[in-house]
């Protein structure tokens, strides 16, 4: 079966000049991938007639399906509609169904229809009108010389509703679609090149219709397997088989599958083991607590946290011994171990987690340069501590330390902790 | 003067399949606009040799400057570097400076350099190596048949550091750019349409060579004035004059100029007034503490924070009265005021800040729907509290609450608090 190729074209000066973050193309890319359509390119152009015309001609030379967003507003700078009419050599005419819908929308919002709004119901004659259930600008579907062009509003919730309700069903009807199967494996605690070396023999033996991608982000790496073929169940089985061979090599680093985050995976472990955690943060400064609490339902396992930034608070509120800080400093294995133990006790949790380090960019010494971080975990029976040597960038150090603490917690919960170096 | 035209090319299957949100092109678009360079197109292609080659050839037909990100990782799916070598018909050779830098990076992190990492120092011979101060993949600058091509890593913080430190200075040197003067005015505590109404008469009188843009983000709005002309000093004076007229209309909402963040501006106020703060967070869950502590030097004014997530900790550790929580609930004006007062006392600060609310997406009641949040500030003499009615989105509620607390603190510090509604 011939693969359906798609191109996404977003239109608007604000996208080029950096005033708006384009989130539409990511969402569209995800939806098309799920349909087994291959996106070959994404293009953004400004609200300029010649640029739009050129981009349309180029896209039709590459893709079977061209999805556009943007440039459909009622103001003068939005010219997508009349440029489409020009491209397809068809006149703009009043579309009665579109007019009825825009009238109904204004009535439901108790607002008066202006001539400007009424003009939004004028559409290129050769298109099929696509209802906009969330706003005033209708969508347009053109079937032209074997290629399909779809124009949608740029406002994300209007575009999404239109895709879900009308465009995706029409795409399924219009094209015979191949099958793509994706599997995402989430890893933590290993760098990209080490991981790559570790699984190289397996990777080299992958069949040509199964592709592997490394997607690194903040101390974690997602491995994505993509299988192309004709039958979903076959692909699923083939990927299952590959994952079965892969897993023993990297088991310790895998925290989940699909779109799950590390903190969500840990939340599930804590809930299933009925354990609670508490935090005492120095260099991470509240970011670890935030990483737990941004997950809905985290109050089931996150008891609370303390950020004793000033050393006096480490002693008076958290209960670290003054001698420990005087003898070894706040950034020391001894101090961070006491912090984890005290967090557990003071905040009444099963497990206490702690960080202490020199986040930077300043404040380092020859013995403890910027990026020196100690982390610890105390579960009431054991206390584990690790030293990290990170970067000179404060925010990166905060993020990596948080991921390292979460990974220490994960390894403890799954009983892998003794194998940690 | 001929306008310099630029194209941004992002490379990576993950961008097409919708697994990664491309934030790089927005950031690059903003930076190039500030330089007076016009971005004419943004293109994303997958990790495919032919697609990258085609996109390079097309871009060079349109633009003077082509900025690329992505596809520079050490793994097999990243092919940008060898494709660039092919495009420019130049061999990949070991770059000694790049090798030295990647070795130094690994040494500083106490990690062993693998052959895979070493290969990252191989670069196309005809390029100028651009140092990557944040990671292992160097950037590349090609000056080819009158056009400049720059390849950078896709990891946002690596790309941003490279742009700021090397690429932007090199662009300024290489191209003759128009004179543009920018002034950014940072506001908080007012919505876009209210702000727009408030300054409408002033905005309508702006001369045609000075443009105004509203850039809203997470409860704050940046106003950017851009003046185009021939002489920098003249433009600066003209913008000064305009700002002098604008300020009295919006004084209360302006927290700073340029790229300063709200938390940095507040940090400066706290340092100059020699005051310290402490936090007690329920619904913001550590994000407020993090917002303070991500700023270098914040230990001068941030004493510490408590996240008493579990109600027992609000009582036993923070010291809120049990009766208050029993009678009014933890999400109440009474509770949040006690939290702010206790934060100040327990954590030994001049000012205590507190949040308590229903962050969502679940957990609301008819009287206290999701998005109901109370915030408070106590300075030892007065306690101020405010109720916020926010959204159903957990992360948006956390961010907006944090901004609202910071603004309450800012208004207190500058003595504007009595005029708050």
CA distance linking residue A43 with residue A59, whole number of Å: 9
- Domain at A179-257: CATH code: 3.30.70.2860
Quickly state the pLDDT bin for A421 (edges 50, 70, 90).
Answer: very low
In this model, does residue B216 exceed pLDDT 80? no
HEC states along A160-185?
Answer: HHHHHHHHHHHHHHHCCCCEEEEEEE
Q: Which of chain B's residues have a Cβ under 8 Å away from the Cβ of A393?
A: 134, 157
In this model, does residue B192 exceed pLDDT 70? yes
Q: What is the mean pLDDT of chain A?
A: 93
pLDDT of residue B191: 84
Flag the least confident range among A134-143, A212-221, A300-309, B329-338: A212-221
Q: What percent of chain B is modeled with pLDDT above 90?
A: 79
Q: How close is the nearest chain B Cα to the Cα of A93, in Å?
A: 31
In this model, does residue B109 exceed pLDDT 80? no
* Residues B180-189, mean pLDDT to the nearest whole number: 93
- Complex ipTM > 0.90: no
Q: Which of chain A's residues have a Cβ under 8 Å away from the Cβ of B47?
A: 213
Q: Which of chain B's residues have a Cβ under 8 Å away from the Cβ of A226?
A: 17
Give the nearest chain A residue to B214 (CA atoms): A19
Q: How close is the nearest chain B Cα to the Cα of A394, in Å?
A: 7
CA distance linking residue A273 with residue A300, whole number of Å: 12
- The beta-carbon neighbor of A41 closest among B25, B44, B299 is B44
Radius of gyration of chain B (CA): 26
Give the nearest chain A residue to B20 (CA atoms): A26
Q: Which of chain A's residues have a Cβ under 8 Å away from the Cβ of B28?
A: 18
Quickly state the pLDDT bin for A117 (edges 50, 70, 90).
Answer: confident
Quickly state the pLDDT bin for B227 (edges 50, 70, 90).
Answer: very high
Q: Which of chain B's residues have a Cβ under 8 Å away from the Cβ of A302?
A: 285, 309
- The beta-carbon neighbor of B75 closest among A40, A192, A296 is A192
Strands B38-45 vs B5-11: parallel, antiparallel or unpaired: parallel
The conformation of residue A2, written as its DSSP 8-state character, comes to P
Per-residue pLDDT of A156-211, as tens digits, reads 888 999 999 999 999 999 999 878 888 999 999 999 889 999 999 999 999 999 98
Is the Cβ pair A18, B27 closer than 8 Å? yes
- The beta-carbon neighbor of B18 closest among A18, A29, A297 is A29
Q: How close is the nearest chain A Cα to the Cα of B377, in Å?
A: 18
Per-residue pLDDT of B48-66, as tens digits, reads 999 999 999 999 999 999 9
pLDDT of residue B256: 97
Q: Which of chain B's residues have a Cβ under 8 Å away from the Cβ of A362?
A: 296-297
Is the Cβ pair B29, A21 closer than 8 Å? no
* Residues A34-39, mean pLDDT to the nearest whole number: 87
* Residues A36-49, mean pLDDT to the nearest whole number: 93
CA distance linking residue A346 with residue A316, whole number of Å: 12
Most B CBs within 10 Å, among A211, A222, A261, A286, to test the B interface: A286
Superfamily covering domain B262-419? CinA-like (3.90.950.20)
CA distance linking residue B190 with residue B196, whole number of Å: 10
Is the Cβ pair B17, A39 closer than 8 Å? yes
Most B CBs within 10 Å, among A6, A8, A9, A18, to test the B interface: A18
Say which CATH class A5-174 falls into. alpha beta
Strands B179-188 vs B220-229: parallel, antiparallel or unpaired: antiparallel
Q: How close is the nearest chain A Cα to the Cα of B64, in Å?
A: 16
Q: How close is the nearest chain A Cα to the Cα of B295, in Å?
A: 8
CA distance linking residue B305 with residue A307, whole number of Å: 5
Give the nearest chain B residue to A314 (CA atoms): B304
* Residues B290-305, mean pLDDT to the nearest whole number: 97
pLDDT of residue B368: 94
Q: Where are the domains of chain A?
A: 5-174, 179-257, 262-419
Q: Which of chain B's residues have a Cβ under 8 Å away from the Cβ of A30?
A: 17-19
- The beta-carbon neighbor of B73 closest among A20, A214, A297 is A214
Per-residue pLDDT of A347-388, as tens digits, reads 999 999 999 999 999 999 999 999 999 999 999 999 999 999
Is the Cβ pair A289, B289 closer than 8 Å? yes
Q: How close is the nearest chain A Cα to the Cα of B196, in Å?
A: 17
Give the nearest chain A residue to B13 (CA atoms): A213
The pTM assigned to this predicted structure is 0.83
pLDDT of residue B418: 65
Residue B217 in tokens:
């983000």
In this model, does residue A18 exceed pLDDT 90? no
Q: Which of chain A's residues have a Cβ under 8 Å away from the Cβ of B114?
A: 193-194, 197
CA distance linking residue B320 with residue B313, whole number of Å: 9
Give the nearest chain A residue to B362 (CA atoms): A296
Quickly state the pLDDT bin for B1 (edges 50, 70, 90).
Answer: low
- The beta-carbon neighbor of A30 closest among B18, B55, B304 is B18
In this model, does residue B394 exceed pLDDT 50? yes
Most A CBs within 10 Å, among B16, B115, B134, B354, to test the A interface: B16
Q: Which of chain A's residues have a Cβ under 8 Å away from the Cβ of B156?
A: none
Residue A244 in tokens:
């079965």
Q: Which of chain A's residues have a Cβ under 8 Å away from the Cβ of B304?
A: 306-310, 313, 317
pLDDT of residue B108: 82
HEC states along chain B?
Answer: CCCCEEEEEEECHHHHCCCCCCCHHHHHHHHHHHCCCEEEEEEEECCCHHHHHHHHHHHHHHCCEEEEECCCCCCCCCCHHHHHHHHCCCCEEECHHHHHHHHHHHHHCCCCCCHHHHHCCEEECCCEEECCCCCCCCEEEEEECCEEEEEECCCHHHHHHHHHHHHHHHHHHHCCCCEEEEEEEEEECCCHHHHHHHCHHHHHCCCCCEEEEEEEECCEEEEEEEEEECCHHHHHHHHHHHHHHHHHHHHHHEEEECCCCHHHHHHHHHHHHCCCEEEEECCCCCHHHHHHHCCCCHHHCEEEEEECCCHHHHHHHHCCCHHHHHHHCCCCHHHHHHHHHHHHHHCCCCEEEEEEECCCCCCCCCCCCCCEEEEEEECCCCEEEEEEECCCCHHHHHHHHHHHHHHHHHHHHCCCHHHCC
Q: How close is the nearest chain B Cα to the Cα of A418, in Å?
A: 21
SS3 A357: strand
Q: How close is the nearest chain A Cα to the Cα of B418, in Å?
A: 31
Q: How close is the nearest chain B Cα to the Cα of A306, in Å?
A: 5
Q: Which of chain A's residues have a Cβ under 8 Å away from the Cβ of B29?
A: 15-19
pLDDT of residue A35: 86
φ, ψ for residue B357, nearest 5 deg: -170, 180
Flag the least confident range among A65-79, A264-278, B154-168: A65-79
Task: Check residues B154 and A392 and name the one with the higher pLDDT.
Answer: B154
Per-residue pLDDT of B409-418, as tens digits, reads 999 999 988 6
């Amino acid at each position: 079966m011939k693969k359906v190729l798609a191109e996404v074209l977003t239109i608007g000066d604000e996208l080029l000049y950096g005033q708006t973050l384009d989130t539409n193309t990511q969402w569209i890319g995800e939806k098309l991938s799920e349909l087994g359509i291959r996106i070959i390119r994404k293009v953004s152009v400004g609200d300029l007639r010649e640029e739009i015309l050129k981009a349309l001609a180029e896209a039709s030379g590459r893709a079977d399906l061209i999805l556009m967003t943007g440039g459909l507003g009622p103001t003068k700078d939005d010219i997508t509609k009349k440029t489409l009419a020009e491209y397809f050599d068809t006149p703009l005419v009043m579309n009665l169904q579109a007019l009825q819908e825009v009238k109904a929308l204004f009535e439901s919002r108790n607002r008066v229809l202006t001539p400007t709004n009424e003009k939004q119901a004028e559409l290129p004659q050769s298109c099929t009108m696509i209802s906009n259930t969330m706003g005033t600008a209708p969508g347009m579907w053109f079937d032209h010389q074997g290629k399909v062009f779809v124009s949608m509003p740029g406002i994300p919730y209007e575009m999404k509703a239109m895709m879900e309700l009308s465009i995706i069903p029409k795409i399924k009807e219009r094209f015979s679609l191949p099958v793509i199967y994706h599997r995402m494996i989430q890893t933590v605690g290993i760098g990209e090149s080490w991981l790559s070396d570790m699984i190289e023999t397996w990777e080299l033996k992958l069949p040509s219709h199964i592709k592997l991608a490394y997607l690194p982000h903040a101390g974690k790496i997602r491995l994505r397997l993509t299988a192309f073929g004709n039958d979903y169940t076959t692909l699923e089985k083939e990927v299952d088989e590959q994952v079965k061979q892969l897993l023993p090599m990297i088991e310790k680093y895998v925290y989940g599958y699909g779109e799950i985050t590390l903190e969500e995976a840990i939340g599930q472990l804590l809930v299933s083991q009925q354990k609670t955690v508490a935090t005492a943060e120095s260099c991470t400064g509240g970011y670890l607590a935030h990483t737990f609490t941004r997950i809905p339902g985290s109050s089931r396992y996150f008891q609370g946290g303390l950020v004793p930034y000033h050393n006096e608070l480490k002693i008076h509120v958290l209960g670290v011994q003054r001698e420990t800080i005087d003898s070894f400093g706040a950034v020391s294995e001894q101090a961070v171990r006491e912090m984890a133990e005290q967090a557990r006790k003071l905040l009444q949790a099963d497990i206490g987690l702690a960080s202490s380090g020199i986040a930077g960019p300043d404040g380092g010494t020859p013995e403890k340069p910027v990026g020196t971080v100690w982390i610890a975990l105390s579960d009431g029976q054991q206390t584990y501590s690790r030293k990290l040597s990170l970067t000179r960038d404060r925010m990166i150090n905060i993020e990596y330390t948080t991921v390292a603490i979460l990974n220490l917690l994960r390894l403890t919960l799954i009983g892998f902790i003794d194998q940690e170096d």
